[in-house]
Chains A and B, each alone.
Chain A
Amino acid sequence: MIRLEKRPQASQAFSWAAPVLAVLATMFFGGLLFAALGKDPLASITTIFWQPLFGDFAFYYRPQLLIKGAPLVLIAIGLSLGFKAGIWNIGAEGQYIMGAIFGAAAGLAFYPTESVLIFPFMILAGALGGWIWAMIPAILKVKFGTNEILVSLMLVYVAEQFLASMALGLLKNPEGFGFPGSRNLQQYGSAHNAELIAGSGMHWGVVAALIAVIFAYVLLARHRLGFAIRVTGEAPRAAKFSGVNPTRLVLFCMGMSGLLAGLAGMFEVAGPAGQVTIDFNVGYGFTAIIVAFLGRLHPFGILLAGGLMALTYIGGDIAQSQLGLPAAAIQVFQGMLLFFLLAFDLFTNYRLRMGRAEVA
């Protein structure tokens, strides 16, 4: 008989080893999957993990890592605060969209005026957009006890409809020959989230993500509010006994995650994407959930996990184009990563025991 036994206290070592083991297991079983598809497993894995960083065209892919990783990290940091306290904002995708719309609209309102104040104003507007969208489920939760998971998720679809309406209506480029989509912010100097160093991929969103990581680390490790978040997640009654106000905590965590998701959307629309279009969102808000857990809800872990996730995205694209791997296989590969993480995660709190269970 094999059985699981609860550890007297959570294993620190295993909580850090689990992501590494999960990546290794994903490589192994992903390789088997690719082999079953008739591809060379070793080549596939190196294509995904090696090419973007050190391959012949790494000079092109490395900036892409920052561009794809930054929104993931930014959103995941916000989500992790709530997740730690047991507050489940699943609708970051919607908050990301609203941040982009608010940010773009704030910039386009001044077109074609040029001013250094426009970009900071857009940042505020983007943060506000995401925050408002997250406050809807938050307020419904604290006032009426609704489930924030369902409300925030459904608001993603509302945001998508709103995005389509904006791209086709209010924000449509008047000089766009009738094509859907807003003016391109990349061609509007004051509103363009340009690369800080040309060709590096480093834009303001990357800077914001790094600041968010440090901010979240200090908050969780050193600040009363971060402690309140952790206690609430571990033992809600103990948190209440110690004086945590659950209502305020829900509002803070939801608001913060919405704000950061909104920022991510704003930096994306003003930079890499450039335009408000119908298909602007590509699922960063959902992938960030995986990133948050892959990073063990720890700020630095999330930084690494965001990089890793961006790597599989870019590597996956390369593998698709060079090796002809189907897109679905790449998605399965990414799914495996979360699956193995959750599986190995079990051993943080439990250990395997061989032998017969003793009758109590």
Chain B
Amino acid sequence: MNNPPLLALSGLTKAYPGVVANDDVSLTIAPGEVHALLGENGAGKSTLVKMIYGLVKPDSGTMQMHGTPFHPNEPRAARAAGVGMVFQHFSLFDALSVAENIALGMEDAPKLGTLSKQIRDVSEAYGLPLSPDRIVGDLSAGERQRVEIIRCLLQDPKLLIMDEPTSVLTPQEVEILFKTLRKLSAEGTAILYISHKLEEIRSLCDSATILRLGKVVGHCTPSETSARDMAEMMVGSILKTPLRTGKTPGDVLLDLRGLNAKSPSAFGMPLRDISVQVRAGEVLGIGGVAGNGQDELLAALSGENLSQPGMVFFKGYDIGQLSPIARRGLGILAAPEERLGHAAAPDMTLTENAMLTGAVREKLERRGMLNWPAATRFAERIIKEFDVRTPGPGNAARSLSGGNLQKFVIGREVLQRPEVLVVNQPTWGVDASAAASIRQALLDLAENGAAVIVISQDLDELMEISDRFAALNEGRLSEPRPAQGLTVDEIGLMMGGAHGMEVAHV
């Protein structure tokens, strides 16, 4: 007896300018199956689920639901067909109650009283404690996620898509969530589960599809496959040999001694007891799943967030209390991950954006007065040396494509001859040749005696340019190890294979 699968995708392809996000992707999900979608950032997981949820239209390929063609034009159509989705970022109004928020997301919401009762019923039935009258602003991240889940469950979905649901949850909340998901699965609701956390997937999922660079590179049964094998499939079985051979590193430039820092934002990750030394001429690669303290580490080094005395040292001096401007004066530069709005001001010209971080070291400022002609020359130099495609330095940052702006942002820091450079996702969204030239620029910097810290989600990139590799997990940094000869298994372990053992600290 062969029932038609709940959802069958075949040959789905979606291309964006410059990148094929999904290339001939096929997979099937049976009713009640918990199916994991695995892959690195940029592997095409989000595009795939957006197509299922009707947010993105495939260029070619077909989808079938219960054996009949399924082509949602918009999320409403997908919801009507029984597809629910819980996004990584919640879309809730802080000032409204749980019931009001849920009513807003429904096509024809019942009266609030009736709805509240339904919410109570569902939350009890699935072990998701939540009072419909509470104001969303007062809820924890885990509780907010419950609101989103209950919003989906009220529509009685046949397929529930969850995009990295555990990234904002405490381990206790993860346990509750898994119980709920198992119950749903037992009742016949299929779940498409996106995550980086391999051990989670091994304990929860029945089957897995692994994507790399938009293509399906394998299927497996997680409970019978080791995390190592899955990681190898995700990363690609052969890790490139690093271009650089180990050479004797210079003096210690940057020294973190038990750096602890609270995150300024509610969903941020605090830094916990990070100790590492970075020497002149060395590239330290920092991997790890997004949201494990990457932004916070960069902010603590750039001076955007100050740290307690005795935690951050540069050439032996305590710099934890120095402002970003003072740190730039010393030669500590940084390039944050978010290009628009953080590394650059979107509506300002490239000249103004060159002034943004270049004022001190490029001497674009004298006794508070700004030298705009010099800033324009600096911007022109960045444009020329980093091959930024733009009509000129008078154009607004937001008129540049993501890759070109990235080249500008990295170039702006590299050209200021840093002694310590910290970059987060330096080649994110940049085409292959530009990425190679950015990496080369980082290597050249190190060659000339700078200490470079590269934070990235791209393991291939980190293996290519790092001398030593460490991973961030839950705000902690693993012991750095020489990148050469590091196996996928070891990287996987450093990235959080053993994360279940850290529960006691949360």
Contacts and interface: CB of A to CB of B under 8 A. Distances in A.
B325 A222 contact: no
A235 B356 CA distance: 11
A237 B303 contact: no
B154 interface: no
B368 A237 contact: no
A13 interface: no
Contacts of A235: 340-342, 344-348
Given A241-B324, A242-B324, A223 B369 contact: yes
B370 A238 contact: no
B99 to A, nearest CB: 28
A223 B370 contact: yes
Contact of A222 (B345, B369, B398, B399): B369
Nearest to A218: B369
Q: Number of contact residues on A: which range applies?
A: 20 to 34
B338 interface: yes
A8 B397 CA distance: 10
A241 B369 contact: no
Contacts of A237: 338, 341-342
A224 B359 CA distance: 9
Contacts of B325: 242-243
Interface string A230-242: 1100110111111
Contact of A243 (B324, B370, B398): B324
Contact of B356 (A223, A225, A242): A242
B230 interface: no
B467 to A, nearest CB: 27
Nearest to B305: A240
B396 interface: yes
A245 interface: yes
Given A8-B399, A231-B348, A245-B323, A224 B365 contact: yes
Interface string A340-360: 000000000000000000011
Contacts of B344: 235, 238
Contacts of A224: 359, 365, 368-370
A4 interface: no
Contacts, number: 77
A147 to B, nearest CB: 15
Main secondary structure of the interface of A (DSSP, over half): helix
Contacts of B356: 231, 238, 241-242
A9 B399 CA distance: 6
Nearest to A231: B345
Nearest to B368: A224
A149 to B, nearest CB: 17
Given A231-B356, A241-B324, A10 B396 contact: yes
B404 interface: no
Contacts of A227: 352, 355, 370
Contact-size category for B: 35 or more
B231 to A, nearest CB: 33
B342 A223 contact: no
Nearest to B344: A238
B456 interface: no
Nearest to B357: A242
Interface in A213-265: 222-225, 227, 230-231, 234-235, 237-243, 245
Contact of A234 (B304, B348, B372, B399): B348
A123 to B, nearest CB: 25
A11 B344 CA distance: 20
Interface in B307-358: 323-325, 328, 334, 336, 338, 340-348, 352, 355-357
Contacts of B118: none
Contacts of A231: 345, 348, 352, 356
Interface in B230-255: none
Contacts of B28: none
Interface string B62-74: 0000000000010
B395 interface: yes
Given A8-B398, A9-B396, A222 B324 contact: no
Contacts of A222: 369-370, 372
Interface of B: 57, 73, 302-304, 323-325, 328, 334, 336, 338, 340-348, 352, 355-357, 359, 365, 368-370, 372, 395-396, 398-399
Interface of A: 8-10, 222-225, 227, 230-231, 234-235, 237-243, 245, 359-360
14 contacts: A8-B399, A9-B399, A222-B372, A223-B369, A227-B352, A230-B348, A230-B352, A235-B342, A237-B338, A238-B344, A241-B302, A242-B325, A243-B328, A245-B323
Chain A to chain B: the 5 pairs with minimum beta-carbon distance, closest first: A243-B325, A243-B324, A235-B345, A9-B396, A234-B345
Given A8-B398, A9-B399, 8 more contacts: A9-B398, A235-B348, A238-B345, A240-B304, A241-B356, A242-B357, A243-B303, A243-B323
